[in-house]
Structure 1
Amino acid sequence: MKLSPRLEAVASLVPVGRAAADIGTDHGYLPVFLVNKNICPYVIAGDKSEKPLEKARELVKTLKMEEKILIRLGDGLEVIKEREKVSVIIIAGMGGKTICSILEKEFSRLSGIEVLILQPMVDIPLVRRWIGENGFKITDEKLAREGSQFYEIIAAEPGVQEPLDEVLLELGPKILGKKDPL
């Protein structure tokens, strides 16, 4: 399965061998890719809307991946059950305020999470600020381009974030450091 450049960049930040939860999975393309490429042993694919989950269920069933991709209807991180071994949370394709709200609402579920992969469509500085103020640090960032649209993808781990000034909040400390041609 071929992903869009945006989702390909998201997938490239997922560490190999770790179970993940894709929050707001939509049609389930990312979880299928992650399992199919042996990046993740299993993925929880969650969405709060039944309609996209129906498409995800069909795709997963067609590919016979029901044991490795768990489709769940629910709001945000509540699709991750207690004691479930998930070390990567992916939230992509939502606004920055929505991403921060999802993380804050179920903050206790972030205990034990090794990596957050966040791809806000807008309000990106807000997400970078949230990361630093909530016990995480930015470890990597990527740019992706689809047509005339650019996307920023942020990876964060538990830790202490060095303070970011307004320029770094806006442009991204790792993106600036890489001097990415995009």
Structure 2
Amino acid sequence: MNEIKLSKRLKMVAGFVAPQARVADIGSDHAYLPTYLVQSGQINFALAGEVVKGPFEIAQNQVNEMNLQQQIEVRLASGLAAIELTDQIDTIVIAGMGGILISEILDAGQEKLAPVKRLILQPNNHEDSLRQWLFDHHFMIKNEAILLEAGKFYEIIVAEPSEISVSKISVPSAKSLMFGPILSEEKSEVFQQKWQKELTTLHKILERLPEEQKEKRQQILQQISEITEAIQ
């Protein structure tokens, strides 16, 4: 049996999967992550969901080639519709999509979230919108990570159902939503790199903006100020 070699990004996602979790990987991309998790002995069961027939067939072939049909089920379905309550899924992974799309997938499948103990989400953008969705639906961000791979920055958000009364949960600040409640505290080297790059981009935009576009210039200056404060 050939061992799967995960990308740095998916390897970090895999690190947040609890031992013996029952995992649903939504938008599974060749079923690489479930295959790795099962091959390594980290988990015993996973399902891989794909909404498009082509990727579904590729994932299915991957599982068949690895002879893992008893431990990994590949299903053709939209979002969380791939999950049946009888699967006893306790961990959902959605990686490599836009933050708004991830929010929409979670929103459309809310009835599947009741038994879930952990969400492991890796948005490619709009991380702030996803964090807002999690707060609005009573999920607490328990961990975050950031990495740089092949010139791109990726954030991973690990959330679990809140055990605190809704009335006692603090409303997240704009800073927390934008920069991440944990990432903005840790201020890792990669975190600094990401936002320094964004600062450089904003300064270039500002240089090109005509003076008469005062409102737009003010918005950019505000963003620059917020980022500068966040990375200090």
TM-score (norm 2): 0.76
Of the three residues 5, 10, 15, the one matched with 1:12 is 15
Q: How many residues align?
A: 182
CA displacement at 1:178 relative to structure 2: 2.5
AA of the residue aligned to 1:166: A
CA displacement at 1:108 relative to structure 2: 1.0
Alignment of 1:167 with 2:175, yes or no, is yes
Where in structure 2 are there 5+ consecutive unaligned residues?
A: 191-232
Give the helix-richer structure, 1 or 2: 2
Give the strand-richer structure, 1 or 2: 1
Task: Write out per-residue CA displacement over residues 15-68 of structure 1, whole angstroms, 9 at most, x where no aligned residue.
Answer: 111100000112111110111112221111001011112111111111110011
TM-score (norm 1): 0.96
* Counterpart-to-counterpart distance in 2, 1:143 and 1:36: 25
RMSD, aligned CA = 1.2
1:103-118 aligned at under 5 Å gives the runs 103-118=106-121
1:65-144 aligned at under 5 Å gives the runs 65-144=68-147
Of the two, which has the highest radius of gyration?
2
What residue in structure 2 maps to residue 180 of structure 1?
Answer: 188
SS in 1 for 2:132: helix
Instruction: Tell me: higher relative CO, structure 1 or 2? Use CA pairs within 8 A at least 6 residues apart.
Output: 1
CA displacement at 1:179 relative to structure 2: 2.8
CA displacement at 1:6 relative to structure 2: 1.1
Where in structure 1 are there 5+ consecutive unaligned residues?
A: none
What residue in structure 1 maps to residue 25 of structure 2?
Answer: 22
Conserved 8 A contact 1:9-1:143: no
* Counterpart-to-counterpart distance in 2, 1:34 and 1:177: 30
What residue in structure 1 maps to residue 52 of structure 2?
Answer: 49
Runs of 4+ that moved beyond 4 A: none
AA of the residue aligned to 2:12: A
AA of the residue aligned to 1:23: I
Aligned-residue identity in percent = 36
